[in-house]
Amino acid sequence: MRTVMRSSLQRTAWLIALCACVPLAHAGYMTAKAGLAQILLQRAWQQRLETGVAAKPWPWADTSPIARLRVARLDIDEIVLSGDSGRSLAFGPGWAESSAVPGSPGLSVISAHRDTHFSFLRDLASGDSIRVDSARGASAYRIVSTRIVDAATERIATREDIDALVLVTCYPFDALAAGGSLRYVVTALRDPA
């Protein structure tokens, strides 16, 4: 009887241990996928610069690179995708198509996940410089504010009368569960040329 009970307890312990590993494996997979995607996106971005034609990063992609976002102080180099659907954001930062195209006049909004491509937003400070490369050339922006908003009660207006870049991610950065309504918003104004 004790042998059967011990064997049953061992199986239960192994099952619990296996179940505990599933979320860790999923997190590792998501991080690896995001990293590999940026390599393929860098290649597609380079192809776009060389040919002037939007290039898909992989054959079944429903998005393409439209800009490159860099923060030298933090050694950040991210390719920005057209569209900000969940499918796009799984691979990199996405441009909200209701806003100005990154690097063009107007207010451009780019969003990404807090635990992958935009985890660095927590380290940005007022005065930091952000560079955006687009098909139009390079644009420099300087951060003027960071704030936390509730997406359930406040929307980001896509104004045309301001030359700015807005970076958005979910908040808090260390939340255990995704899907809350809080957003971390970084606003940067274009540096005068």
Domain boundaries, the chain: 2-190
Give me the pLDDT at residue 165, please: 96
Give the least confident one: 27-41, 43-57, 65-79.
Answer: 27-41
DSSP state of 176: S
CA-to-CA dists, residue 49 to 54, 66, 137, angstroms? 9, 10, 10
| Cis ω for the linkage preceding 102 (within 30 of 0) | no
pLDDT, average across residues 160-180: 87
* E strand spans, the chain: 65-71, 76-82, 94-95, 107-111, 129-134, 137-150, 164-170, 182-190
Q: pLDDT class for 88, splitting at 50, 70, 90? A: confident
Q: pLDDT class for 93, splitting at 50, 70, 90? A: very high
Give the least confident one: 26-40, 53-67, 158-172.
Answer: 26-40
Give the least confident one: 33-37, 92-96, 188-192.
Answer: 33-37
pLDDT, average across residues 102-123: 93
Give me the pLDDT at residue 142, please: 97
Give me the pLDDT at residue 10, please: 66
Domain 2-190 is classified in which CATH homologous superfamily? Sortase (2.40.260.10)
pLDDT > 60? residue 26 = no
Mean pLDDT over each residue of the chain, to the nearest integer: 86
Q: Which residue did the predictor score with more confidence, 19 or 151?
A: 151
pLDDT, average across residues 95-118: 93
Amino acid symbol at 100:
A
Report field, pTM of the whole predicted structure over 0.85? no
CB 177 within 8 A of CB 121: no
